[in-house]
Amino acid sequence: TQLLEQSPQFLSIQEGENLTVYCNSSSVFSSLQWYRQEPGEGPVLLVTVVTGGEVKKLKRLTFQFGDARKDSSLHITAAQPGDTGLYLCAGAKNTGNQFYFGTGTSLTVIP
């Protein structure tokens, strides 16, 4: 059983469209990170959110941490082919030293 469920699992959209990826859990996390992974490479950190309700923006990407710190979302505006990849959320609890990774969302942006 995965601690963090992501939806959708797969997403294929046209260039210029907007999209939202969700990361949900029944557990409370003290911190949540979003990574992007391209084929043949390891995940690369995009952002870390630590406060319930926190919103962070990274160019066309907007990340939000839920008020109860159980969920998060990633919104991409005007998607580009370069956004194609596997998006992973990862949550850390107050105890322990590890991040629990979500199931992943595979995004394909068609030119």
Residues that bind another protein (CB under 8 A): 2, 30-31, 33, 40-45, 48, 50, 88, 92, 96-104
Q: Kindly tell me which of 44 and 110 has the beta carbon lying closer to another protein.
A: 44
- The minimum distance between CB 81 and another protein, in angstroms, equals 22
Smallest separation (angstroms) from another protein to the CB of 20: 20
1 CB burial (10 A radius; 0-12, 13-18, 19+): exposed
To the nearest whole angstrom, how small is the minimum distance from the Cβ of residue 57 to another protein?
Answer: 18
- Shortest distance (Å) from residue 29 CB to another protein: 10
Measured from the CB atom, the residue of 66 and 104 that comes closer to another protein is: 104
Residue 73 or 106 having the CB closest to another protein: 106
Q: Which is nearer to another protein, 45 or 55 (CB)?
A: 45
Q: What DSSP assignment string belongs to 44-86? A: EEEEEE-STT-EEEETTEEEEE-TTSSEEEEEESS--GGG-EE
| Count of H-run helices and E-run strands, the chain | 0, 11
How many Å apart are CA 102 and CA 28, to the nearest integer? 14
98 C-beta neighbours (distance < 10 Å), count? 9
